[in-house]
């Protein structure tokens, strides 16, 4: 009997999700081409928590052992501090406890380093840069994509499988599901990178720290082997509505948001030379992630508020499952394989999306009885164990049973 022709797989978007998908597909014996609109792969954004449910898939790819080359292994996390004086409200030791519970350490990294790690494992021909997807059409026999380069030259590509890994403003999403409305959260995020030499010593510890205060909170942890401190501040948005990770903000505006806070917070802010600022929008889970030969993955499928630090981890879980579903499938079997992927992944990622809502209400309580009750609850909490459903999830087993 003639061997089935290899599947033609096109991945739109070369972010963490798209590259992870290409790598897991290769591991499943499938060749995929990643089409990325930028002319060089670069991660906007700065720090990222590489949670155990992201580290384990990286270990499957043989990449986790390289994390210590650039990432910082967390000794403690969820170190909640009071805004006014830095009093520690609670702290969660990580280290060996994390390994014992979830089989791996938890890291914090620069997103660009993580992206470079994934890219280093891909053969050069698998990535096509300067290819912006401008249209997509699904048909029974093959999907058709059109890409435009910077010079306006268009190329048509036919594929048996199209994976929309093109992020929060996905052009593939409308092919799969009715467009979802983005709901403004009323908040925005400032983000900066501070050279370690300028940061207060407490910010150099291998600890993810969250300062809680009325109406806003402030997060920091070291990245890039400790050479930089990543800062994210969530504050009321005012009239800021731009939802772009590359829009510039003003350090003076960020400073003004934290006037009166502990001096170490302001020292970190004042040590930054630039900041990005974007409005935070929430999205309701999609009703479907696939249609015919086209499916969605990562933020294109499940853009979420950043309060669980899980967007990329969920994208990588998607990649594991999608590759398992497509393994050994011929072109005719693609729609059923994508339906299986959707059935396995959508409920879990949607749950994380929904859980990520509303966190800020607790983090932003004004001083008073509710804040005191929250602080008591934090002191007796056990976030590492309470996160078992996230960090302990066995994505390989989910493929086997789904």
Ligand X SMILES: Cc1cc2nc3c(=O)[nH]c(=O)nc-3n(C[C@H](O)[C@H](O)[C@H](O)COP(=O)(O)OP(=O)(O)OC[C@H]3O[C@@H](n4cnc5c(N)ncnc54)[C@H](O)[C@@H]3O)c2cc1C
Which residues are identified as catalytic?
A: 221
Query: If binding means CB under 6 A, how many residues of this protein chain bind ligand X?
Result: 32
Q: Which of 9, 10, 11, 12 binds ligand X (CB under 6 A)?
A: 12
**Which residue reads 């300028």 in tokens?**
198
Specify the DSSP class assigned to residue 80: E
Is there a contact between 289 and 177 (Cβ–Cβ < 8 Å)?
yes
For ligand X, the binding residue among 72, 106, 165, 286 (CB under 6 A) is 165
Rounded to the nearest 10°, the torsion over CA 12, 317, 51, 22 is -40
> Binding to ligand X by residue 275, rule CB under 6 A?
no
- Establish if 222 lies at the interface with ligand X (CB under 6 A): no
Task: Tell me the residue ranges of DSSP E strands in 83-215.
Answer: 88-93, 107-110, 127-128, 132-137, 143-148, 154-159, 161-164, 182-195, 207-213
Single residue of 11, 13, 74, 192 touching ligand X by CB under 6 A: 13
Residue 196 near residue 185 (C-beta atoms within 8 A): no
By CB under 6 A, tell whether 133 contacts ligand X: yes
Nearest CB to ligand X, comparing residues 325 and 349:
349
- Smallest separation, CB 400 to ligand X (Å): 24
The values of phi and psi at residue 11, to 5°, are -110, 125
Q: How far is the CB of 127 from ligand X (least distance, A)?
A: 11
Site for ligand X in 291-310 (CB under 6 A): 298-299, 306, 309-310
Closer to ligand X by CB, 297 or 365: give it.
297
Indicate the DSSP class of residue 260.
T
Q: Which is nearer to ligand X, 83 or 107 (CB)?
A: 107
Q: Which stretch binds ligand X (CB under 6 A): 29-37, 66-74, 119-127, 264-272?
A: 29-37
Q: At what angle do helices 334-355 and 311-326 cross, to 10 degrees?
A: 160
Q: Which of 113, 160, 166, 317 is close enough to bind ligand X by CB under 6 A?
A: 166
Nearer Cβ to ligand X (243/375): 243
CA–CA separation, 396 and 402 (whole Å)? 10
Nearest to ligand X of 38, 119 (CB atom): 38
Contact call for residue 228 and ligand X (CB under 6 A): no
Tell me how far, at minimum, the Cβ of 205 lies from ligand X, in Å.
18
Decide: is 45 part of the binding site for ligand X (CB under 6 A): yes
17, 312 contact by CB (below 8 A): yes
One residue of 10, 11, 15, 254 binding ligand X per CB under 6 A: 15
Contacts from 63-70 at CB under 8 Å and sequence distance 24+? 63/117, 63/118, 63/121, 64/104, 66/117, 67/107, 67/109, 67/117, 69/225, 70/109, 70/110, 70/113, 70/117, 70/224, 70/225
Q: Of the candidates 121, 159, 232, 378, which one interacts with ligand X according to CB under 6 A? A: 232
Asked whether position 48 contacts ligand X by CB under 6 A, the answer is yes
271/356 with CB nearer ligand X: 356
Nearer to ligand X, 18 or 57 (CB): 18
| Burial class of residue 357, CB neighbours in 10 A (0-12, 13-18, 19+) | middle
Closest to 278 measured CA to CA, from 312, 256, 248: 248
Q: Give the closest residue to 115 by CA, choosing from 187, 167, 177.
A: 167
Question: Considering the rule CB under 6 A, would residue 57 count as an interface residue with ligand X?
Answer: no
- Residue 164 touches ligand X, criterion: CB under 6 A: no
Residue 172: name the closest of 130, 141, 144 by CA: 144
The token pair at 319 is 């990649």
- Between 32 and 84, CB nearer to ligand X: 32
Q: Counting contacts by CB under 6 A, is residue 313 touching ligand X? A: yes
| Residue 298 C-beta: closest distance to ligand X, Å | 2
Nearest to 224 by CA among 209, 210, 204: 204
- Considering the rule CB under 6 A, would residue 200 count as an interface residue with ligand X? no
Q: How is residue 46 annotated by DSSP?
A: -
167 binds ligand X (CB under 6 A): yes
Selected range binding ligand X among 10-18, 266-274, 330-338, 339-347, rule: CB under 6 A: 10-18
**Least distance from ligand X to the Cβ atom of residue 37, Å:** 4
What is the binding site for ligand X (CB under 6 A)?
Answer: 12-18, 35-38, 45, 48-49, 132-133, 165-168, 171, 189, 232, 298-299, 306, 309-313, 315
């Amino acid at each position: 009997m003639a061997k089935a022709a290899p599947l033609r797989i096109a991945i739109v978007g070369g972010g963490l999700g798209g590259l992870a998908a290409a790598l897991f597909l290769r591991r499943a014996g499938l060749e995929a081409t990643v089409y990325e609109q930028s002319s060089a792969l670069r991660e906007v954004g700065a720090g990222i928590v590489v949670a155990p449910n992201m580290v384990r898939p990286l270990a499957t790819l043989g990449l986790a052992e390289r994390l210590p080359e650039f990432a910082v292994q967390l000794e403690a996390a969820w170190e909640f501090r009071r805004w006014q004086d830095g009093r520690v409200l609670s702290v969660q030791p990580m280290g060996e406890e994390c390994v014992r519970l979830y089989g791996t350490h938890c890291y914090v990294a620069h997103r660009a380093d993580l992206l470079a790690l994934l890219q280093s494992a891909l053969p050069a021909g698998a990535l096509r840069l300067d290819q912006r997807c401008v249209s997509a059409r699904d048909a029974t026999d093959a999907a058709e994509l059109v890409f435009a380069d910077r010079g306006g030259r268009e190329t048509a590509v036919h594929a048996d499988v199209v994976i929309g890994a093109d992020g929060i403003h996905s052009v593939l999403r409308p092919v799969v599901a009715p467009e979802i409305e983005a709901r403004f959260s009323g908040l925005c995020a400032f983000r900066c990178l501070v050279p370690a030499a300028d940061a207060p010593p407490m910010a150099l510890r291998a600890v993810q720290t969250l300062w809680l205060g009325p109406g806003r909170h402030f997060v920091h942890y070291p990245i890039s082997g400790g050479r930089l401190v990543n800062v994210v501040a969530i504050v009321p948005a005012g009239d800021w509505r731009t939802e772009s990770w590359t829009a510039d903000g003003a350090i003076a505006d960020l400073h003004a948001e934290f006037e009166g806070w502990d001096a170490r917070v302001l020292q970190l802010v004042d040590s930054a030379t630039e900041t990005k600022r974007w409005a935070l929008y929430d999205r309701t889970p999609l009703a479907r992630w696939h249609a015919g030969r086209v499916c969605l993955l990562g933020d294109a499928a499940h853009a979420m508020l950043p309060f669980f630090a899980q967007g990329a981890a969920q994208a990588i879980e998607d990649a594991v499952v999608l590759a398992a579903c497509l393994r050994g499938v011929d072109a005719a079997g693609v729609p059923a394989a994508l339906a299986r992927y959707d059935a396995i992944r959508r409920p879990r990622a949607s749950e994380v999306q929904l859980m990520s809502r509303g966190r800020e209400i607790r983090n932003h309580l004004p001083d008073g009885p509710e804040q005191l009750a929250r602080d008591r609850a934090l002191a007796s909490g056990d976030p590492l164990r309470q996160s078992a459903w996230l960090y302990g999830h066995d994505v390989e087993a989910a493929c086997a049973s789904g």
